[in-house]
């Protein structure tokens, strides 16, 4: 039984290492400064977002992710932000702490273009004894120091109007190492750069209803190409209901509600459509979004991204 458990862990960890060196989100449009520093300061208020994701419920060692993002405009053109990601996959724990800086220019017709950079550190912690291998030759490996602190930086661009956005970013420009498990062996490998392309448009159906299709493409060398297609309907700028399809991977339903002027709460459920779906009951994701306007008489544009 112990060997069976180890084999299952190997499969899960290998899939995660290849396809998900960076965590994935279904409600990415509400914490975009996590992946794109140019998004920082794009909202006319101090914005705080919290997201928690539990993936592949029912499988031991499946990914669990927490994110915390904060960003705000500073002056006329500058945006500052902070992004924290806590990710756990099997025996690997990873904490990311990054600062974001953006500079925005007006490009005409109420359109803006922001360029941004992020810089910070990634803290790796690999619980090698958690692997629970029974081979005596593994003792030397288990006694290795698997805790590391590594610097990294990223860059991005974000073009937006009141109803359209287009973003491109590379959150990790340095190919630092990570741990992967393949063929029953744990080894160090370079973390591949990830390229993110995001876009969406908000259509005004009538005074009470809006429709927003959106897309996110995440590309990495040697990995499948995950593409998220999403569509959401907004009612009275208070309720949102939507569906999402991650190419050849999952179907999702999402909903959120603005419970107060400055607070929005959302939930998403992912149903796995691959063979892995036979071994889990899906993925769950919740988020909280706070927007604080310090100028009482200032009207914040009701953007849907």
pLDDT tier, 229 (very low <50, low <70, confident <90, very high otherwise): very high
For residue 34, pLDDT beyond 70: yes
pLDDT for position 223: 80
Q: Which residues contact 26 (CB under 8 A, 6 or more apart)?
A: 53, 228, 244, 246, 252, 254, 268, 270, 283, 285
Q: Which residues contact 259 (CB under 8 A, 6 or more apart)?
A: 265
Cα–Cα distance for residue pair 287/87, rounded to 1 Å: 16
CATH architecture of the region 2-292:
Beta Barrel (2.40)
Range with the poorest average pLDDT among 21-35, 52-66, 112-126, 160-174: 21-35
Closest to 145 measured CA to CA, from 132, 131, 129: 129
* Average pLDDT of the chain to the nearest whole number: 83
Cα–Cα distance for residue pair 1/217, rounded to 1 Å: 40
For residue 212, pLDDT beyond 90: yes
The residue-averaged pLDDT of 3-26 equals: 49
For residue 255, pLDDT beyond 70: yes
pLDDT tier, 73 (very low <50, low <70, confident <90, very high otherwise): very high
Better-scored residue on pLDDT, 283 or 135 = 283
pLDDT for position 3: 38
pLDDT tier, 221 (very low <50, low <70, confident <90, very high otherwise): confident
Helix, strand, or coil here: 258? strand
Neighbours of 136 (CB within 10 A): 7
Better-scored residue on pLDDT, 174 or 228 = 228
Please state, for a pLDDT cut of 70, what percent of the chain lies above it: 78
For residue 81, pLDDT beyond 80: yes
For residue 16, pLDDT beyond 90: no
Please, are residues 30 and 266 in contact by the beta-carbon 8 Å criterion? yes
pLDDT one-digit tens code per residue, 105-160: 999 888 999 999 999 999 988 776 665 554 445 555 555 556 788 899 999 999 99
Cα–Cα distance for residue pair 120/98, rounded to 1 Å: 4
pLDDT tier, 303 (very low <50, low <70, confident <90, very high otherwise): low
Give the N- to C-terminal CA distance of the chain in Å, as an integer: 48
Closest to 124 measured CA to CA, from 89, 95, 88, 85: 95
């Amino acid at each position: 039984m112990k060997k069976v458990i180890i084999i299952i862990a190997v499969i899960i960890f290998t899939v995660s290492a290849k396809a998900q060196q960076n965590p994935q989100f279904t409600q990415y449009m509400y914490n975009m400064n996590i992946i794109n520093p140019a998004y920082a300061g794009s909202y006319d208020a101090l914005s705080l977002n919290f997201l928690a994701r539990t993936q592949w419920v029912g499988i031991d060692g499946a990914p669990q992710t927490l994110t915390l993002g904060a960003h705000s405009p500073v002056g006329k053109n500058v945006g500052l932000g902070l992004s924290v990601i806590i990710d756990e996959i099997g025996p690997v724990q990873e904490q990311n702490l990054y600062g974001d800086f953006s500079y925005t220019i007006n490009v005409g017709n109420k359109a803006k273009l922001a360029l941004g950079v992020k810089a910070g550190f990634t803290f790796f912690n690999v619980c090698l004894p958690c692997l629970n291998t029974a081979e005596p030759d593994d003792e030397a490996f288990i006694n290795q120091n698997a805790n590391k602190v590594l610097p990294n930086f990223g860059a991005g661009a974000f073009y937006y109007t009141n109803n359209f956005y287009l973003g491109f970013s590379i959150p990790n420009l340095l190919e630092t190492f990570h741990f992967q498990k393949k063929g029953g062996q744990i080894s160090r490998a370079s973390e591949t750069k990830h390229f993110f392309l995001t876009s969406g448009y908000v259509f005004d159906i009538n005074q009470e209803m809006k429709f927003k299709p959106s897309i996110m493409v995440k590309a990495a060398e040697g990995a499948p190409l995950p593409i998220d297609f999403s569509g959401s309907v907004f009612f009275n700028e208070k309720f949102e209901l939507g569906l999402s399809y991650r190419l050849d991977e999952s179907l999702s339903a999402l909903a959120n509600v603005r419970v107060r002027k400055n607070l929005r709460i959302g939930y998403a459920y992912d149903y796995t459509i691959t063979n892995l779906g036979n071994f889990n009951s899906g993925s769950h994701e919740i988020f909280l979004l706070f927007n604080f306007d310090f100028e009482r008489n200032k009207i914040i544009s009701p953007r849907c991204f």
